[in-house]
Amino acid sequence: MKPLVKIENLTCAYDKIPVLENVNLEVNERDFLGVIGPNGGGKTTLLKAILGLLKPVKGKIAFGHDLQGRKKPIGYLPQVRHIDKKFPITVFDVVLSGSIMNGIYRPSAEERQKAEQLLVEMGILDIRHKAIGELSGGQMQRVFLCRALLSDPKLLILDEPDTFVDNRFEGELYEKLRALNKEIAIILVSHDVGTISTYVKTIACVNKSLHYHPSNIITQEQLEGYNCPIQVITHGEVPHTVLPYHHH
Amino acid sequence: MNAILELFNYDFFQKAFLATVFASISCGIIGSYIVARRIVFISGGITHASFGGIGLAFLLGFNPLLGAVLFAVMSAMGIQFFTKVAEIREDSSIAIWWSLGMALGIIFVFLTPGYTPNLMSYLFGNILTVTSSELWWMFMLNLVIVLFFTLFLRQILYIAFDEEYARTAGLPVDLYNYLIMTLIALTVVLNIRVVGIILILSLLTIPQASANLFTKDFKKLIVLSSMFAFIGTMIGLFISYFLDIPSGAAIIFTLVLMFGLLRVVKIFV
């Protein structure tokens, strides 16, 4: 089976300063990859390279059949902090912006229906006429998730969906992702290693270079071995925690 | 009331009325975009830079609006170039083009032999002296803007809201941005006769601020700010005529007053 995304010897740089070097990675169908690493380590850069927002200095990114030509785009949930909260746009329009547009475009009846159905699934249909700036962090993340899912993506990429989000929604979000993962591959960037390792299947540590870890159990020692200076913290009563207990 | 109706018998007032309609629609649409995207300052830079073109046209003796278009488009591109290629901070490059255009305008006007009677009407606008050919140009621009924003509203809105996401969806983001930048430049220039270079920002922002009190939906924002622009401009026009004060200033004063009143109304509804 051909991988959905195959990254070979990828090097990316901003102003000639390399942020990622010689990265190799494969994402296959129904993968659930957690991307962790320190701030400024290149996590978002990796996502942007995959999304085609950033031209690599070196190396290549190949896409499998399902993503080739990409008229069905990759679903993408950006960091909410980049969103202009005063922008005059309604929730429903934000969700509809996840559709595929060619030339003169009006959202079709099916697209509207799909958008409504997604809003129902996320439990936020009642706020569909609100302006984006009137929402809480959790509601906003739900809206962006609806947008990312509108065109039935084969691959879903999420950049720190757990920022500005209450604990209750965080749990719901990860359960939702687990359900989605039955059909689509997911790449999830997070700073919350403890929580994501409950849900992801594999882990990639990104700190200029990338270390692939083919399971969701990762120890502090392994992280240090990967030159990935982050702390593994378990959150008190997280159910099904797969992280080994450790002292600080 | 009769005095107002009688005004419509005059040719100059019929033209002023049409100019008001065209200015309201174009500024309502383009202004909503500018405000939503937070590029008011860029638009100010483009507007003021166009004065250089007006000066050049006076000096060489061609149509001042043509000179203004030339400088407006040039400065729009110039700001982009300074920011992206020359790596000057965006607000600084806006200020550079803003003042450079004004400076060139003043030099050209100074070098123009004889007296330049129309200069004030370009700086502060005079809707009562709009000519038929200017009206035709305004009509064409309105047609283009209305068509473009009707046919491609979704793309325009989505790119403005989240450019990065639009890129991942494969939209030609740069093409849209350049097209809209050009439309902004043209809107600014063709509406110079209505309120003038110094005051045009008001038509692009005050009706939008009023509309924004009542809606956060981009489509409704466009319609509502066009309506507010029309009402404010018409009232300003009457005030200007009956009190014999400059039209541009009267229009802006009315627009701000309207905003204040609507803001108070908002508290009670």
ipTM confidence score: 0.87
pLDDT band at A247 (very low <50, low <70, confident <90, very high): very low
Q: Would you call A222 an interface residue with chain B, using a CB distance cutoff of 8 Å?
A: no
From B220, which residue of chain A is nearest by alpha-carbon distance? A88
Q: Taking residues A142-160, report their average pLDDT.
A: 92
Cα B145 to Cα B138: distance, rounded to the nearest angstrom = 10
* Chain B interface includes A82 (CB < 8 A): yes
pLDDT higher than threshold 70 for residue A148:
yes
SS3 A187: strand
Task: Choose between A197 and A52: higher pLDDT.
Answer: A52
Cα–Cα–Cα angle for B172, B176, B178, rounded to 5 degrees: 120
| B residues 124..143 contacting A (CB < 8 A) | none
Check CB contact of B217 with chain A, cutoff 8 Å: yes
Work out how many CB contacts closer than 8 A connect A with B. Answer: 75
Q: Do A88 and B218 touch (CB under 8 A)?
A: yes
Q: Residue A81: its chain B contacts at CB < 8 A?
A: none
Q: Is B195 left (phi over 0), alpha (psi -120 to 50) or beta?
A: alpha
Percent with pLDDT over 70 in chain B: 100
Contacts of A90 in chain B (CB under 8 A): 216-217
pLDDT at A231: 58
Is the pLDDT score of A166 beyond 90? no
Q: Please provide residue A188's backbone torsions phi and psi, each rounded to the nearest 5 degrees.
A: -125, 120
Contact of B87 with chain A, judged by CB distance below 8 Å, is answered with no
Identify which of A81, A115, A122 has the alpha carbon closest to the alpha carbon of residue A99.
A115
Integer Cα distance of A42 and A9 in angstroms: 15
Mutant choice from A77, A93, A108 vs B, greatest count of B C-beta within 10 A: A93
* pLDDT score of A229: 65
> pTM score, two decimals?
0.88
